[in-house]
Amino acid sequence: MALWFECKVKFDKVQENGSVKKVKEPYLVDALSFTEAEARIIEMITPYISGEFTISAVKKTRISEIFWDESGDRYYMVKVMFITIDEKTAVEKKSASFILVQASDFSNALENFEKGMKDTMADYEIASITETPIMDVFPLNATADNKE
C-alpha cells in the first residue's frame, strides 16, 4: 500500500503576461518517510523548474487509493463512507476513506470513481467530491505507463 505525501514547492513562475510571480504548488509523492518524500520531489520536479525552488512543506495525507485516468488533467478528492454493520449491536457504522481520482471534470471524476469501485463488495456512499489544487502525482515507479 502506498503512503502519499503532499509536498509544496515554492518557486518563481513566469506568468502568461511575462511577469514573474512567486507561487507555491502542491504535488503528491509516494514515499516511506518525510525525508524520502522531500528527496523524491526534488528529484522529480528539478527537470520542470528553471531556477531556484524550495520545498516549503511536506505532510502525510490520508489518501488510501488513486484511480488513474491519463486523459484527465485535474485531481479530485472523493470522501467515501464505507458502511459496515456491527454484528453484536446490529448498528450501522460508517468509516471515511479518501480516494484521489484523476479526471478532466467533475462528472468525469464521478464516472472514474464509480468505474474504480465497480468490483468492490463493500457498501459505500459518496460523502463529497472536491477538486484539489494538486498539480501532479509521482508514484514510486514514476513513469506514465506504470501508473496503476
Statement: the pTM of the whole predicted model exceeds 0.85: yes
| DSSP H helical ranges for the chain | 34-45, 106-117
Q: What's the pLDDT at 22?
A: 95
3-state secondary structure 44-61: HHHHHCCCCEEEEEEEEC
Instruction: Find where cell 523524491 sits.
Output: 40
Residues 53 and 74 in one domain: no
Total domains in the chain come to 2
Residues 109 and 124 in one domain: yes
pLDDT digits (tens, 9 = 90+) for 111-135: 999 999 999 999 999 999 999 999 9
Kindly indicate the confidence band of residue 142, based on its pLDDT and cuts at 50, 70 and 90: low
CATH number of the domain at 51, please: 3.10.20
Closest of 60, 36, 44 to residue 9, by C-alpha: 44
Q: What's the pLDDT at 59?
A: 98
Q: Which positions ≥6 away from 60 have C-beta within 8 Å? A: 3, 4, 5, 6, 34
Residue that terminates a domain, selected from 11, 44, 61: 61
Average pLDDT over all residues of the chain: 93
- Measured CA to CA, the distance from residue 138 to residue 148 in angstroms comes to 12
pLDDT digits (tens, 9 = 90+) for 71-103: 999 999 999 999 999 888 989 999 999 999 999
